[in-house]
């Protein structure tokens, strides 16, 4: 791989890192909003269950079943967040390899 090719690949990797970082920020924001909505809705569901005179030992189970979809949404966002974090780590590793290759090529050219 020539120096020009390495530099082009590094530029592509930089763009990819930028995109992944933005995507991570969006998903993290979505997750925070979903968690906030979940907490608010959970409190409402607890109050509703109490108003329905559901036994205290059953309230948590009833609320969990009513909130399953919101909980699932949060878990999906967590998986997406983890996926993007892993992609970011992989991309950073690739950048380090490219930088090493670039340094090697520069040293190789000095010897000529």
Q: What is the pLDDT of residues 99-109, one digit of tens each?
A: 999 999 888 88
Whether the pLDDT of residue 56 is over 80: the answer is yes
Say if residues 45 and 67 touch (Cβ distance below 8 Å). yes
pTM for the predicted model, two decimal places: 0.80
Distance CA(33)–CA(97), nearest Å, equals: 37
What does the block give as tokens for 90? 């992989």
The mean per-residue pLDDT over the stretch 54-69 comes to: 92
- What distance in Å separates the CA atoms of residue 81 and residue 48, rounded to the nearest whole number? 32
pLDDT of res. 42: 95
Tell me, what DSSP letter sits at residue 67? T
pLDDT of residue 109: 84
Which sign does the torsion angle of CA 62, 63, 64, 70 carry?
positive
> Degrees (nearest 5) of the Cα angle 20, 24, 26?
120
pLDDT number for residue 106: 87
């Amino acid at each position: 791989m020539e120096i020009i090719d390495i530099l082009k690949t590094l530029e592509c990797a930089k763009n990819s890192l930028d995109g992944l970082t933005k995507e991570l920020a969006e998903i993290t924001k979505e997750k925070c909003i979903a968690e906030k909505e979940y907490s608010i809705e959970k409190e409402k569901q607890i109050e509703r269950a109490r108003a329905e005179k559901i036994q205290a030992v059953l309230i948590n189970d009833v609320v969990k079943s009513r909130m399953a979809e919101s909980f699932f949404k949060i878990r999906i966002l967590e998986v997406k967040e983890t996926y993007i974090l892993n992609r970011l780590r992989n991309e950073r590793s690739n950048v380090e390899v490219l930088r090493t290759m670039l340094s090697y090529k520069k040293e190789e050219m000095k010897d000529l």
